[in-house]
């Protein structure tokens, strides 16, 4: 596995900003097999952005299209 940096995003805006700012960044959350792919060097991100704690697990349809709605935990 190649070396990488890591950060935990505290908001969706922070996660998006990090992905824009850091070339080669990838999002990671629960249920992903990204780490397995990194071990095999199929994926080689330079930076991981952890979005697991952001409650990004619900998408609702609105008159304007699909929109993310944070779930209350």
Domain membership flag for residue 73:
no
| CB 28, CB 8: distance < 8 Å | no
**Please, which contacts does 19-23 make with residues 24 or more away whose CB atoms are closer than 8 Å?**
19/49, 22/46, 22/47
Domain membership flag for residue 50:
yes
The kind and range of the H/E element at 34 are: helix 34-39
Give the list of residues 6+ apart from residue 73 with CB closer than 8 angstroms, or none: 55
Q: What is the pLDDT along the chain (73 residues), one digit of tens a residue?
A: 899 999 999 998 999 999 999 999 999 988 778 989 999 999 999 999 999 988 777 767 777 765 555 554 4
The CATH number that applies at residue 45 is 3.30.43.10
Domain membership flag for residue 63:
yes
pLDDT of residue 64: 72
pLDDT of residue 73: 46
């Amino acid at each position: 596995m190649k070396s990488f940096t890591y950060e935990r995003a505290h908001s969706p805006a922070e996660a998006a900003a990090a992905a824009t700012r850091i070339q080669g960044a990838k999002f990671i959350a629960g249920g992903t097999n990204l780490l397995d792919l990194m071990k095999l060097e199929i994926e080689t991100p330079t930076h991981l952005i952890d979005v697991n704690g952001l409650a990004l697990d619900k998408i609702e349809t609105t008159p304007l299209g699909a929109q993310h709605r944070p779930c209350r935990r």
